[in-house]
Structure 1
Amino acid sequence: METTVFRPLIVPAKTAVLLVFVPPSLTQLLAVNQVLDRVRTELGAFIRITRVDQAVHPEVVRSFEVQQLPSFVLLKQGAEIWRHPGLLDAQELTRLLTERLQEDD
């Protein structure tokens, strides 16, 4: 019998977490992934990006009351500090996240 080992996500307290609620459509998912790759290049030291797939984790999507996919939720020390429904281009998402993180410091 194969055993799955649970490894908790350990994030330093100062690091923000961007939850990205991804759509089931492959075309949309590819677009989201392209945006996130560029954002990770710019903000990788300041933010941890975690994708939440609606099909795999519907309870998490419900708990955050996400109404539109994709949606972005920025958390810092477990508290929501920013949210945006819908896809943004990488430059705009980076700008908005940077502004919000600077406001929160």
Structure 2
Amino acid sequence: MEKFEELIQSEKPVLVDFFATWCGPCKAMHPVLEELKNEIGDAARIAKIDVDQHEELAARYRIQAVPTFIVFKKGEAVWRHSGVISGKDLKAVIEQNS
């Protein structure tokens, strides 16, 4: 996997899902994200970061609840949301930042 810093430098928005394997709401978001990925195609990237495996990233972005979603563009966090969110809302955020 490419380095996180390289990934978030993209001109296109990058939606990062900070999740944990033990988290029920995170599991509920999985099919939502799969469907979103199909809908947006290559308009944006979707990355999943396991907070238990990447504690330093979780700390750097102050992830206190999972799932937390952050949209990055050119290395900047442009949007953030903690908790379950609809695919429709995520798609709207990606389109606003495209």
State the TM-score bracket (shorter-chain normalisation).
0.7 to 0.9
Gaps of 5+ in 2: none
Q: Alpha-carbon deviation of 1:56?
A: 0.7
1:17 and 1:76 in contact (8 A); partners too: yes
- Rg larger in structure: 1
Return the structure number with greater relative CO, CA threshold 8 A, min gap 6: 2
Q: Could you give the per-residue CA deviations for residues 4-37 of structure 1, whole angstroms, max 9, x where no partner exists?
A: xxx6356584221111101332643331211111
The equivalent residue for 1:29 is: 26
Identity over the aligned pairs, expressed in percent? 24
TM-score normalised according to structure 2 size: 0.81
Report which of the two has the higher share of helix: 2
Gaps of 5+ in 1: 1-6
The equivalent residue for 1:81 is: 78
The answer to which of 22-31 and 32-41 deviates more is 22-31
Computed over aligned residues only, the root mean square deviation of the Cα atoms, in angstroms, reads 2.1
